[in-house]
Amino acid sequence: MPKTSKVKKKVTKAKTKTITKAKPKTVSKPKEISKGPIKISKNYVPKETEKYMCEKHKVFFRMRLQEWKKELVRANNEALYNGSMDDNSISADIVDQASSYTDKNVEMKAINRQIKLISEIDKALARIREDTYGFCLDTAEPIGLKRLMARPVAKYTIAAQEKHEKNEKVHADD
């Protein structure tokens, strides 16, 4: 009986040795983590010579979209606050009341458009996280840096956008 217990001890020692040998394989992971986030300068502009939608491009558009969203939210909050302050000035003149009503209506439509734009910005930021930003939702072709610079929330190539607008016009006529 003592011989078998010696054999078991040798086997367990051998197992622990193989386990310790396996640990160095996990050491390579910190190299990937140490890569860190990509930083770009404030005046960086994506170039056609760089790989399309590389990390620099994604960081640039993420920052641009987030800044745009902040500006829209701030402007909406100011407009709503200032609009609520004007409610106190009720005029006895019907023409002034009509003019004030029209002004408020135009302002509210502008705020609603900006709210829809904020929603589009959120969708664009989600596409950046999903690595689909910059590619057409219909054709999966690159949208192009020039188009994204002009309209960062663009979802389609110019040809696909024209097709969508044509289809919307056809259905609107029905």
Report in angstroms the alpha-carbon separations of 118 from 53, 68, 109, 136, 157.
22, 9, 14, 20, 21
* Residue 122, both tokens: 């959120």
What is the four-CA torsion angle of 102, 106, 108, 114, rounded to 10 degrees?
A: 180
pLDDT band at 137 (very low <50, low <70, confident <90, very high): very high
Q: Is residue 22 part of a domain?
A: no
In a domain, 156, yes or no: yes
* Domain-embedded: residue 19: no
**Residue 62: which domain range?**
45-173
Cut 0.75: pTM above it: no
Residue 53 lies in a domain: yes
Cα distances from 29 to residues 20, 24, 37, 46, 69, in angstroms, run: 17, 10, 16, 30, 35
Per-residue pLDDT at 173: 63
Asked if the structure places residue 146 within a domain, the reply is yes
Structure tokens at 34: 């140490």
The pairs formed by 145-150 with CB atoms below 8 angstroms and a separation of 24 or more are 145/46, 145/47, 145/48, 145/52, 145/57, 148/61, 149/45, 149/46
Does residue 15 lie within any of the structural domains? no
Residue 34 lies in a domain: no
> Residue 114: inside a domain, yes or no?
yes
Question: What is the count of structural domains for the chain?
Answer: 1
Instruction: Tell me the CATH number at 68.
Output: 1.20.120.910
**pLDDT (tens digit, 9 = 90+) per residue, 53-70?**
999 999 999 999 999 999
Using the CB atoms, write b or e for 41-65: b if 16+ within 10 Å. Answer: eeeeebeeeeeebeebbbbbbbeeb
